[in-house]
Amino acid sequence: MAFEKLTNSIDELNDNVKAFAHSNAEYYKLLIFKQSSKSAISLVTFLIVAFALSTAVAFVSMGIAFAISAALEQPSSGFFIVGGFYLVMIVVFVIFGKKPLTKFMLKKFSREIFNEDD
């Protein structure tokens, strides 16, 4: 009788361990799905906003270049000035902006991915 109880308890323990392992595996599958979905949505949103913003910047830059060219009465001078401005901006970013941007992006993505409130 005691041997049968022990055998039943061991069988129950084995079943419970299997159920726990299965539940744990399903939980991590869902967690990975959630995080990858959030990442994909963030990436697509970023790409759409980046495309729209770059298109807007291109049109505004063209307008400014035409306005400067008309003001200086030189057809290409406005485009060279706007292009030079963007080159200066790139150099300033490369020198000073990489570290703050990296910090900002790490904080943003870690907040997005590891936020368990959703």
Is the pTM value of this prediction over 0.85? Answer: no
For the chain, the three-class secondary structure string (H helix, E strand, C coil) is: CHHHHHHHHHHHHHHHHHHHHHHHHHHHHHHHHHHHHHHHHHHHHHHHHHHHHHHHHHHHHHHHHHHHHHHHCCCCHHHHHHHHHHHHHHHHHHHHHHHHHHHHHHHHHHHHHHCCCC
Round to whole Å and give the CA distance between 79 and 86. Answer: 11
Domain ranges of the chain: 1-115
Residue range 53-109, pLDDT digits in tens: 999 999 999 999 999 999 999 989 999 999 999 999 999 988 988 888 888 888 877
Q: 9-46: per-residue pLDDT in tens?
A: 888 888 888 999 999 999 999 989 988 888 889 889 99
